[in-house]
């Protein structure tokens, strides 16, 4: 990659645009609740459409350049990607019947339970499944 700062600017621009579109259906407090405290202020500033406001354009660009120069851009890009994921999949509903035939069902369940908001609906056969995905 020849111009890493330019890649950061472009990637940030696209993530911010996507996040603005997805977050538009949520209240600001809901969006903020998904953000880490140390990055919330910066990300909220980025999500405000300030690029096209004459008085704010220079401030907005300065903020982007500062995040790149200080090396905090990677954390911001990751936080934006995670925010997009949380907002795009507000709640995950899983029918757990698939565990009857699943190998390593315990690993699948661990992964599912790490989702920020998940509902599990057990099937009528799942009560007879052991932790290895086999029947008891």
CA distance 60 to 65: 9
User: CA-CA distance, 98 to 101, in Å (whole number)?
Assistant: 6
CB 47 within 8 A of CB 79: no
Compute CA distances 39 → 43, 107, 127, 130, whole Å. 6, 31, 43, 42
Mean pLDDT for back-to-back runs of 10 residues, the chain (136 residues): 86 93 88 88 84 75 91 94 88 70 77 78 60 50
Q: Is 93 helix (H, G, I), strand (E, B) or coil?
A: strand
């Amino acid at each position: 990659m020849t111009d890493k700062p330019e890649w950061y600017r472009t990637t940030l621009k696209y993530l911010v645009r996507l996040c603005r579109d997805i977050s538009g259906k949520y209240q600001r407090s809901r969006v903020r609740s998904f953000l880490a405290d140390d990055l919330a202020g910066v990300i909220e500033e980025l999500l405000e459409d300030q690029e096209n406001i004459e008085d704010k354009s220079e401030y907005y660009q300065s903020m982007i350049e500062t995040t790149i120069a200080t090396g905090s851009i990677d954390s911001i890009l990751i936080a934006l990607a995670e925010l997009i994921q949380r907002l795009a999949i507000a709640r995950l509903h899983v029918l757990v019947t698939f565990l009857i035939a699943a190998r390593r069902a315990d690993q699948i369940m661990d992964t599912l339970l790490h989702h920020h908001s998940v509902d599990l609906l057990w099937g009528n056969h799942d009560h007879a499944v052991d932790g290895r995905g086999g029947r008891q």
